[in-house]
Structure 1
Amino acid sequence: MKPADYAFGHGDERFDVTHYSLDLACNVTTNRLTAKAELTCVALADLTDVQLDLHSLKADKVLVDGAAPAKVTHKGARLTVKLAKPVKAGRPFAVSVKYSGKPKPVPGLFGGAGWEELTDGILVSSQPYGAPSWFPCNDRPTNKASYRVAVKYAGSYWASCNGTVVEHVARGGQHQWVFDQPEPMPTYLAALHIGVGVSRPVASGASVPVEIVHPPLVNVGVGSAFERQGEMVTVFEEMFCPYPFGGYRAVVTEDALEIPLEAQGMSIFGANHAAAGWANERLVAHELAHQWFGNSVTVGNWSDIWLHEGFACYAEWLWSEASGGRHAASHAQEHWRRLAALAVPGPLVDPGPARMFDDWIYKRGALTLHALRAEMGEERFFTVLRQWNVRHRFGVVSTDDFIALAEEVAQQKLTALFDAWLFSKKLPAPQ
């Protein structure tokens, strides 16, 4: 399929946003948002207009470099800003948008994504197309930017967002938080939670602080799925490379969630994911692994989603092996048998937008890595994982990039292996 088929109608390839500064005033009770977004941009082509993605919210005032543009049109979820003066390729410019309304999830192939009302709070998880539900953006995974997010609200809630807390003021029932995310982040990894919670540090030997935010009545300590979270960070740092961001925050909501939610520097779980046992422990490991595979090293097109989900799934098996549980080979054998019993609809690379989050993508991706491990041997395989993260830190990658690295480390062509596992519909024999 064409790369545009995976874009969900979002994004403008003609410019990059290099920094987002968001000031959000939230009424949690009425689900009302009044906000201002300041976007620092650079033109990648000569521009007479720019297009931003903004869903269901009203753009009250738009400025470009501090002045009114020639025209603003907001049709559907597309905000088109006609420039008063053209901007040449390579030149910087700034767009300011004041906006307001009642945010709603962005509908799409996988249901609504983005801003969501909880029983008592707000949750925003943007993957893969939900970022326009809460701020105007250039919504494409190839456009990574730094972020500053300020959040104001009334009530005794706790706020969690990407990055480091640089300010928290609580006065007269009002809260203001400011979060700084200096490492580049694609829009789909921007997240926000405002809800009942307390924060506590997690002991670990990791290179960065680790914390967990959770409802007071939900156990996230001894006897929970999060009991060994600090150890997981340490193990993954040894396997993959030092943790790529300034800290890691796990957030547990009061509500049950169907699946955990991925975000940069943080992961979001439902209260139903806290109970001890492998079924939940593997989810904790999976979401943590995305900090390396998906968040620091990000696919440029969703057709290569296996580079996120296959790697995070294999990290579950690596954690199991490292923590005294089942060896990765045992997990591989189990899931190969399960996949062999299914009518798999297509190859791992470019499976089609509607199938990019199918479970077989996760499992076949992990099996591909296990086959590569068997082919290369331990030392070279883990060299590939570490070099993948070191060389492409905060970057955008493709399947071709991974094949090139694996063949460089192996010092031989691996065409037969990758053709069978990545590009063939037929499930190869287990390694």
Structure 2
Amino acid sequence: MGLTGRPPTRRGLAVAVAALTCAITVGGAGCTRGDHDGFRPGAADAGDPYVPGHGNGGYDVTHYELDVRYDPANDRLTGRATVTATATQDLSRFNLDLAGLDVGAVTVAGTRAKYRHDDGELVVTPPDGLPRGRPFTVAVEYAGVPTAVVDGALGSGGFLHTADGAVAVGQPDSAATWFPVNDHPSDKASYDIAVTVPDGLSALSNGVPGPKTSSAGWTTWRWSESTPMASYLTTLVIGDYRVVTGTHAGRPMVTAVPTSMPVSGGAAGSLARTGAIVDFLASRFGPYPFDSYGGIAVADDRVGYALETQSRPVYGPAFFAGDQPNPGVVAHELAHQWFGDSVSLSRWGDIWLNEGFASYAEWLWEEHDGGRTAQRNFELQYAKTDWSQPSVEPGRERMFGTAVYKRGALAVHALRRTVGDDTFFRILRTWTTERAGANATTADFVALAERVAHRQLRSFFDAWLVGGAAPALP
């Protein structure tokens, strides 16, 4: 090795000697700059107490390219994920979340990397340290039988094998059951997803549909979500579906209902109102934030919820029991496209920012659709609310409790009554515009509301979101 230029410092000589020693003794294998000059491992956890062990630090993902193949006959998934990211520190190694699948190979910038995989963590050590600010790609080849995630009263999520295919959906976690990911909403990214399934089955996911190709009894479906998306908002639904494709407001509209469900009424009739509901919500919240629309109904009773999977919500069968229409749940999940999907959480303790506004959207839609007014729904909910439970930082076990949803909606309507309609809807449209594609906290929303309303509102939000007694009616 030759040294040129100015004489090296004492530290520079030490680093050079250590690097040479590493190369001589072990051929460079496993030696990174992090061993010698300040490069260090990325965090193995996003630091969110609501989802311990989820998410990772040291890098920021910008794009996922997923190419998966699924065979329902043996429930086996094989995949290749190419993750494009930028190091946010001098990085010696980093983690990806991946649960229940086997890893066959990992490369970083096209070069084989060392890795270990256990307890849902794929730990990757690149051949050389990654300097802060440097973009890099990591490609992971993996395979196996994906696993479900059991989530108490909400039923199962993750990757669910069904009679005719599979459903991958769930909050706060599901993505890591079918691809390697930085599994926390604070790290959003764009996606290209290719899914290969046996001919005759549908393979539905997020975003704009691409061209389908068939070969030797298999069909590849392609989807692209160009707007940053939180990992829990990804979905994969495979099976025997009636897929309806079209356009709305110049953008693709894709809805799907299992062939086992009726062709009209219930789920099909409710999803058919997607365009009208989106248009109404856009009149209140501002322009729709994505490049496509849609929705997917599933017939699996283990999915006891609906989820706002980006651009194409997934609806469990209980919402359409007895083949009854339910536009309210469609309004709720579509409102999330603004509140939760476009403007996403920085941490799960602020989940009311998602659910309070989506629940309030149900009241807005019901009034618009000829039902009870938002004011009447507010009065009814106010009378039966347990004010001992906070909307902000509700605790992990109450992430999906009524304080998050209904008390959150009460706070939203109370804000409207306090500042007036013009200012209220200006607050909402400013929020969805200024924070589009980004993350936010409750403190961010309070600050923005005060700025738009030109008045102090912290005591108002304290009373309606976390106070232990019923606030005075505005």
Indicate the TM-score class for this superposition, using the shorter chain for normalisation.
over 0.9
Gaps of 5+ in 2: 1-45
Aligned residue in 1 for 2:423? 380
1:33-86 residue CA offsets vs partner (Å, 9 max, x unmatched): 1111111110001111011101010111111111122x3111210111122211
1:204-261 residue CA offsets vs partner (Å, 9 max, x unmatched): 6x45333321124534646743453321111011111111111111111233441112
1:283-330 residue CA offsets vs partner (Å, 9 max, x unmatched): 111111111110001010001000000000000001111222111011
Gaps of 5+ in 1: none
CA distance in 1, matches of 2:409, 2:250: 27
Judge conservation of contact 2:158–2:168 (CA < 8 Å) in 1: yes
Judge conservation of contact 1:218–1:271 (CA < 8 Å) in 2: no
CA distance in 1, matches of 2:426, 2:324: 28
Aligned residue in 1 for 2:237? 193
**1:157 is the counterpart of 2:206:** no
Aligned residue in 1 for 2:389? 346
Aligned residue in 2 for 1:280? 326
**1:304 is the counterpart of 2:350:** yes
CA distance in 1, matches of 2:360, 2:250: 23
State the identity %.
Answer: 39
Residue type of the alignment partner of 2:447: A
**1:32 is the counterpart of 2:76:** yes
| Cα offset, 1:425, TM superposition | 2.9
How do 1:125-274 and structure 2 match up within 5 A? 125-201=169-245, 206=249, 208-216=251-259, 218-219=261-262, 221=264, 224-256=269-301, 257-274=303-320
Helix, strand or coil: the match of 1:308?
Answer: helix
**1:52 is the counterpart of 2:96:** yes
Aligned residue in 2 for 1:103? 146
1:377-404 residue CA offsets vs partner (Å, 9 max, x unmatched): 1111111111111111111011111111
Residue type of the alignment partner of 2:444: D
Judge conservation of contact 2:88–2:132 (CA < 8 Å) in 1: yes
Residues 142/80 of structure 1: CA separation in 2 closer, same or farther (3 Å cut):
same
Judge conservation of contact 1:303–1:349 (CA < 8 Å) in 2: yes
CA distance in 1, matches of 2:297, 2:156: 20
Structure possessing the higher relative contact order (Cα contacts under 8 Å, 6 or more residues apart): 1
CA distance in 1, matches of 2:59, 2:125: 14
Judge conservation of contact 2:431–2:448 (CA < 8 Å) in 1: yes
**Count, aligned residues:** 425
Helix, strand or coil: the match of 1:6?
Answer: coil
| Cα offset, 1:279, TM superposition | 8.0
Judge conservation of contact 1:113–1:128 (CA < 8 Å) in 2: no
| Cα offset, 1:202, TM superposition | 6.7
Helix, strand or coil: the match of 1:214?
Answer: strand
Judge conservation of contact 2:265–2:325 (CA < 8 Å) in 1: no
| Cα offset, 1:112, TM superposition | 4.5
TM score, norm. by length of structure 1:
0.93
Aligned residue in 2 for 1:316? 362
